[in-house]
Structure formats: C-alpha cells, structure tokens
C-alpha cells in the first residue's frame, strides 16, 4: 500500500491501529498493546451500570486492574495520566481490592470501537479505568479516567508538591485539612495550585487569583455543583459535583481549603 494512503487511512480510521498503555510501577517500565490486553488470561466481558462517562449501561472487555499492578502495595500511590493531560491521583489500595468495589481496565477493541463520548468527540478509549459496584467504595468520578495513556507509581501528593500543603500550624481537625484531601481526589486531576501538580487540563486555582477571591460564595458553590448553570461554551469540560459525589459538609471543607490557600501563594 502506498505510504500516503496508509497515512490517510490512519487519519480517517484511527481504530485500525492498536494503542499502547505504559505502566511505570517502580524500577521497570512495561508497555502493553491493545491486542495483548484483549487476550490477557484475566480478561473478561463486564457490564458497567450508570457508566460515569457515557451516562448509561456499557459493556466492556476488561482486565482486573490488580492483575496489571505487579509489585504495587496497598499503601502505594498511583497516577493515571490521560492523553489530554488529565492526571488522576489515586491511592493504590482501592485499585488492588478484589471487592466489593473493583477496578477494571477496559480495553477498546480496534475492530469494535466504542461510541463517541458526545458529538464531535472521541470515545473513552483506548483504555478506560472503570468500576463495578463503585458505590461500595465511594468511588468518585475523577477515579474513572478515560483515554488513559499511562499509569505510574509515584510518591504521595504531599511529598511531591509541598506547595499544596495547608499551614502546619492548623489544628488537626481544621476543615482545611479535610479540604486538602478532597482537593486531591476531586480537583487535582484537572487543576494545579501554586503551580504544583501534574495536570495539564484546567487553570491554576491559586495563581494569579484564587476563585474564593473573585466569586461570591453562593456563586462559587453553584459553579462547583453545576458549572453550566453559570457559564456555557461549546468546549466546556468541567463536570458538576452533585451532593452524592461531594456532600455539603465536604464542599464546605473544600472551600475552606481554597480560602486558606489564597493566603499561601507560592509563585
């Protein structure tokens, strides 16, 4: 086949080409091809009810994520990086658990591509971290990264990015400390703060200004709950955080952390 025709087909039909997932879990790195994962001994067909990304029931060919995490321990910390720069920070323990909430790596078959996430957008493939029985583990939407390109074992967020830490003088029960934990789970996948973080997706939430500095409190809460109710544009990507995902007390704590960090700007 002529080279220019191969290039044209690759542009028009990307599903013809298998994808690659990189695992960096310590001193070694392993690249998995789609075909290898689809035929993995632990691969099976699973059903996901109320899929976070597709908002409906989906069927996937998937491998239990724990089967791919050789050498990873429950107290380790992992980061899943998507093709668009989304960087999900996740403790390893839930990913290694056999249940009741169980993590799976869904693999898109190049010959049977998944549907697009919405009009004009690609699918959630080639690799998508999904969960069965997620309610049992209080799994949050940011723990469902799609279009995953790599999974890495890294030191915890607090060690890698001290600029994110609240003041050491805060009492142990200060709401800002809980807010810091919630920020890691719900915000750090898309946003940096004080320039700290690995995400390449959304704006920094402290530099040059913190949202608590320019939003009235009621509107900031509304933005977090339902971004599209405040401002709409075709490329908007921020999801809303319902009370089922982020309770009112948790939202209070998250805002306490953001307000506290507005006084701790580190260029």
pLDDT tens string 76-135: 999 999 998 888 999 999 999 998 999 999 999 999 999 999 888 899 999 999 999 999
Helix (H, G, I), strand (E, B) or coil at 103: strand
Q: Are strands 58-64 and 44-48 parallel, antiparallel or unpaired?
A: antiparallel
- Cα dist. 261→137, 143, 178, 202, 264 in Å? 29, 24, 13, 18, 5
Q: How much is the pLDDT for 206?
A: 96
In the structure, what pLDDT confidence band is assigned to residue 234 with cuts at 50, 70 and 90?
A: low
* Percentage with pLDDT > 90 across the chain: 73
Q: Which residues pair with 193 in a beta bridge?
A: 196
> Domain residue spans in the chain?
14-154, 158-261
- Average predicted confidence (pLDDT) for the chain: 89
Q: 236, 202 in Cβ contact below 8 A?
A: no
Q: 129, 64 in Cβ contact below 8 A?
A: no
Is the sign of the CA dihedral 88, 134, 24, 179 positive or negative?
positive
Q: How much is the pLDDT for 3?
A: 39
Q: 81, 148 in Cβ contact below 8 A?
A: yes
- Alpha carbons within 13 A on the beta-carbon side of 113: 15
Task: State yes or no: pLDDT of 13 exceeds 60.
Answer: no
Nearest to 122 by CA among 191, 36, 53: 53
On the question of a cis peptide bond just before residue 208, with omega within 30 degrees of 0, the verdict is: yes
- Alpha carbons within 13 A on the beta-carbon side of 186: 25
What secondary structure letter does DSSP report for 41? T
CATH homologous superfamily of domain 14-154?
Oxidoreductase, molybdopterin-binding domain (3.90.420.10)
Q: Are strands 102-107 and 58-64 parallel, antiparallel or unpaired?
A: antiparallel
Give the tokens for residue 65.
């994520």
Distance CA 142, CA 171 (A): 28
Nearest to 194 by CA among 225, 220, 151, 160: 160
**What are residue 64's phi and psi, to 5 degrees?**
-55, 125
In the structure, what pLDDT confidence band is assigned to residue 214 with cuts at 50, 70 and 90?
A: very high
Please identify which residue in the block is written with the tokens 């290898």: 36
Q: How much is the pLDDT for 231?
A: 76
Q: Hey, do 14-154 and 158-261 end up sharing a CATH topology, with the first three levels equal?
A: no
Average pLDDT over residues 10-26: 70
What secondary structure letter does DSSP report for 244? T
In the structure, what pLDDT confidence band is assigned to residue 200 with cuts at 50, 70 and 90?
A: confident
Q: How many residues does the chain have?
A: 267
Kindly give the residue spans of alpha helices, DSSP state H, lying in 147-247. 157-160, 175-186, 211-214, 217-225
CATH homologous superfamily of domain 158-261?
Cupredoxins -  blue copper proteins (2.60.40.420)
């Amino acid at each position: 086949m002529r080279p220019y025709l191969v290039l044209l087909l690759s542009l028009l039909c990307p599903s013809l080409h298998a994808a690659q997932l990189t695992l960096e879990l310590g001193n070694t790195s392993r690249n998995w091809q789609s075909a290898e994962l689809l035929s993995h001994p632990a691969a099976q067909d699973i059903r996901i009810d109320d899929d976070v990304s597709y908002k409906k029931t989906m069927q996937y060919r998937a491998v239990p994520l724990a089967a791919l995490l050789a050498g990873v321990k429950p107290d380790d910390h992992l980061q899943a990086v998507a093709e668009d720069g989304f960087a999900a920070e996740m403790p390893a323990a839930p990913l290694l658990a056999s249940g009741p909430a169980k993590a799976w790596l869904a693999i898109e078959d190049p010959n049977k591509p998944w549907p697009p996430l919405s009009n004009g957008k690609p699918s959630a493939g080639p690799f998508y971290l999904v969960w069965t029985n997620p309610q049992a583990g209080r799994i949050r939407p940011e723990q469902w990264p799609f279009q995953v390109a790599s999974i890495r074992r890294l030191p915890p967020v607090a060690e890698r990015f001290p600029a994110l830490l609240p003041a050491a003088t805060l009492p142990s029960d200060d709401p800002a400390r809980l807010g810091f934990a919630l920020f890691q789970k719900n915000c750090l996948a898309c946003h940096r703060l004080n320039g700290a973080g690995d995400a390449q997706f959304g704006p920094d939430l402290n530099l040059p200004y913190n949202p608590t500095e320019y939003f009235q409190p009621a509107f900031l809460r509304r933005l977090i709950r339902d971004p599209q109710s405040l401002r709409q544009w075709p490329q908007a990507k921020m999801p809303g955080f319902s009370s089922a995902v982020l309770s009112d007390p948790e939202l209070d704590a998250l805002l306490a952390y953001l307000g506290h960090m507005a006084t701790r700007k580190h260029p």
